[in-house]
Amino acid sequence: MNKIAFLFPGQGTQYEGMLDDLPQTTLTSSLLERAQNRLGHDPLLLDDKEHINTSVGTQLSLFIKGVVLEAHLEEGKIYPHVVAGHSIGSFAAAVAAKVLSFEDGLHIVKKRAELMDNVGGEDYGMGVIVGVNKEKLVHIVASVHSETTPVYIANENAEDQYTVSGKRIGIEVVLEKARKQGASKAKFLNMTVPSHCPLMNDVGKTLFGELEKCTISDPAVPFIGNKRARPLQTGSAVKEDLAFNVSHPVLWHNCSTIMKELGVKLFVEMAPGHVLVDLIKRKYPEGHFFPLSSFSLDDVLFLVKKYKSK
């Protein structure tokens, strides 16, 4: 039997109205009602024009959408052998793995977004670089980083795709040097928060304290951690990863490798977007990929059942 991974995307995939196309089912209504009770307001307001580009609106919308879609897959008798999320996607993955309750996840995700906003500002941000290997990028970043212009490698998405975080003035120099080193893409992301770097250390510590107040269970299936890119099998390990992935690079390239080594053949990515399956497909083209942004829920249920028994 082919193993299945459920994948949960991170920021950058969100769009206005992204919660409007959730399945019109009793299950969706129940989960949205639970979200309203926990948040104290209608969750469908999170993705409107006013809120979707705020940290709270984006992160909660992605979390809710991931949890709702995953719940429908389970209702259709499709269960993961492995779960993995990219950055904020890790929290929906933790709910899928039965580590964290939906209600506790809502609280932690909202807190995370609020704390991150307190660190950011117009002087900070992130950039993306494609077409330069890690060795070159490490050298470039080291040549720019200083106490007054902190800049760090953030996410390692593929062998030649990285993000950098820090002060915009430092990032600008890194991007320019990367272009001179042959980068095919080197530009700022539309973010004012320096995610996944030591500037977020205090956020991680506060989140860990908040997670200590939650009921944390051992994962029902292996949870691929962002920080160490390893399959985590205890609640304490997942808790640590959830808290501190905000202040450490997301090692997605290594996460992809681990899933392949675990024997995963079917990859189902929760909407929105298909960034994660696209990254995995580059190094693992023989896999089968089902992003819910491209396939209907019914089609994914049919196709996964068809392929998993082969």
Q: Which residues are catalytic?
A: 87, 196
Do the beta carbons of residue 89 and residue 13 sit within 8 Å? Answer: no
Query: Reading across the β-sheet that carries 185-188, which strands appear in turn?
Result: 151-158, 161-167, 124-130, 185-188
Do the beta carbons of residue 15 and residue 57 sit within 8 Å? Answer: no
Q: How far is CA 86 from the centre of its chain?
A: 2
Do the beta carbons of residue 279 and residue 157 sit within 8 Å? Answer: yes
- Tell me the CA end-to-end span of the chain in Å, nearest whole number: 6
Do the beta carbons of residue 293 and residue 272 sit within 8 Å? Answer: yes
Assigned token pair, 187: 């530009």
Query: What DSSP designation does 199 have?
Result: G
Query: What DSSP designation does 287 have?
Result: S
Cα separation, 182 vs 137, in Å, equals: 11
Query: 223 phi and psi, to 5 degrees?
Result: -110, 120
Cα separation, 120 vs 91, in Å, equals: 21
Nearest to 8 by CA among 61, 62, 60: 62
